[in-house]
Amino acid sequence: MSAYCWASWRGAALMKMKKNKLIILLTLLCTALSYSACNNSDGIPATVTFTEHVAPILYNNCTLCHRPGGSAHFSLVTYDECRKNAGACAYVAKERIMPPWPADPHYTQFVGQRILSDHDIRILQLWASEGAPEGPKDKLIALPAYPVGSEIGTPDLRIPVQPYLLPANSIDKFLLVKVPFLLPADTFASLIEFIPGHKNVVHHVNGDMVKYQFDKKADVFAGERIVNMVEDTASLLQAFQKLGLPNDDGTYPVLQKSVVNYLPGAVGQKYPEGIGGYFLPRKGAFLLNDLHYGFTNKDEVMDSSYINIFFAKSPPKRPVQEFQLGTLGVAPVEPDLIIQPDSIKHVSSHFTVPFDISVLTINPHMHLLGKTFKAYALQPNGDTIRLISIPRWDFSWQYFYTFKKMVKIPKGSTIVAEGIYDNTRQNLNNPFSPPQLVRDRNGSMKATDEMFQFIITYLPYEQGDENISLETK
């Protein structure tokens, strides 16, 4: 299903690439001609070369993922690698498929957003159309130094995730994984980070923390570690039983949501001093709700991912809280998320906030039929607070978007999330051909069932929150 999604995504991109090739070439030719005529009028060099102009763009925007050991399946580091892919790079840049950033930057801006300028796109196009010349070798800048083992620093504790063997030519897997831990005492953490073993197979992770009361659970390590949510037809509750999550008396421990998330290109949510942080119980487990492994090529892959924990000396002053609109959330999806075959479906969800909140991070969530997503808040005084607009939904890139500064949503404002689904044949990501009825199934994570969720992490508002920068670099 999601392998299908990938395959069709790539297929579609390539198809479009061929169809548009002629047009692109013609456009490039024309632009090239007009530039040589009025060269340098807007900072475009007369001859675009790899070492002087292209490498700085690729090294700043692409090699985070496109390098050996990165999350993409091919590298854009050496001249040869880039020359071979010059046309494809110009195309994906122009279409704003790469770098992957589905949120519209004209609507709202977020921390760490990766968006090429029009100037950069022009450079990539000209370079491709001019035969991708190398330029003087001594002008090549150094590749940025990419952190190993942690994006943030040296962790205080590293907990391994159960290694998982992905067979050769494997399709996507969606796993529910338990990562138990036992500490010498209750403590606090400032940050919890997921580090993938093999970046190009670990696609994304969304993980919660299970917090046990010490005497209610004899053995946190009992039970299975991994349940495959697609191949195993178990309900979520049966899966929780298999993983041995309940307390010994059958009741359920406290679950703290979205404690550890991962998506290629996204760095762990590190907030300024005094914001965020976690209470870590002596006995607990991380519950990776959705460890998504992408397809593998001809080789089998053993993935050994792990979780890094950075301790904190004191309890969290302002722990981050979370709620969600839509599927399994505080406000329902309206109308019900039942998407008839060959139809376009509009849904929304509305929630009025009962007190002033400061929003840190938001995460829109839909599956393969998603087309667009938009969220905003309507204030009691009639003003609108923009939250996010995703004009071209992409199942593969579901970031937790962090605002550059916290966004205050005053008490009595109504948060509105709107989604459009496309269950026609025209949707190249449609998992069914011909299209079939697809619906929300109690938050089923299978990509062939749909979901509509808008997750919001927030703090109760305090004076001045809207001036605190969340860009910690």
CA 175 to chain centre: 17
CB of 66 to ligand HEC, least distance (A): 5
- List the x/- string, 4-23, binding to ligand HEC by CB under 6 A: ------x--xx---------
Nearer to ligand HEC, 81 or 322 (CB): 81
Q: Which among 150, 234, 226 has a CA at the least distance from the CA of 194?
A: 150
Amino acid at 41: S
Nearer to ligand HEC, 181 or 293 (CB): 293
Q: Which among 443, 255, 263 has a CA at the least distance from the CA of 366?
A: 443
Nearer to ligand HEC, 112 or 412 (CB): 112
CB of 370 to ligand HEC, least distance (A): 18
Between CA 346 and CA 353, with CA 351 as vertex, the angle to 5 degrees is: 155
CB of 116 to ligand HEC, least distance (A): 6
The rounded distance, in Å, linking the Cα atoms of 357 and 465 is 9
Nearer to ligand HEC, 128 or 320 (CB): 128
CA 203 to chain centre: 9
Nearer to ligand HEC, 27 or 60 (CB): 60
Any contact of residue 116 with ligand HEC (CB under 6 A)?
yes
Any contact of residue 196 with ligand HEC (CB under 6 A)?
no
Number of residues counted as binding ligand HEC (CB under 6 A): 24
Any contact of residue 93 with ligand HEC (CB under 6 A)?
yes
The rounded distance, in Å, linking the Cα atoms of 336 and 439 is 9
Residues of span 260-289 touching ligand HEC by CB under 6 A: 264-265
284 neighbors 181 (Cβ within 8 angstroms): yes
**Which tokens go with 282?**
């002596």
Q: What is the 3-state secondary structure (H, E, C) of 295-307?
A: CCCCCCEEECCEE
Nearer to ligand HEC, 64 or 287 (CB): 64
229 neighbors 235 (Cβ within 8 angstroms): no
When binding is defined by CB under 6 A, the residue of 100, 197, 223, 246 that contacts ligand HEC is 100
Q: Which among 369, 364, 329 has a CA at the least distance from the CA of 350?
A: 329
Any contact of residue 98 with ligand HEC (CB under 6 A)?
yes
CB of 289 to ligand HEC, least distance (A): 21
CB of 443 to ligand HEC, least distance (A): 26
Report the DSSP beta bridge partners of residue 416: 350, 376
Residues of span 31-90 touching ligand HEC by CB under 6 A: 61-62, 64-66, 71-74, 85, 88-89
CA 46 to chain centre: 38
Residues of span 416-455 touching ligand HEC by CB under 6 A: none
Neighbours of 109 (CB within 10 A): 14
Binding residues (CB under 6 A) for ligand HEC: these are 10, 13-14, 61-62, 64-66, 71-74, 85, 88-89, 92-93, 98-100, 114, 116, 264-265
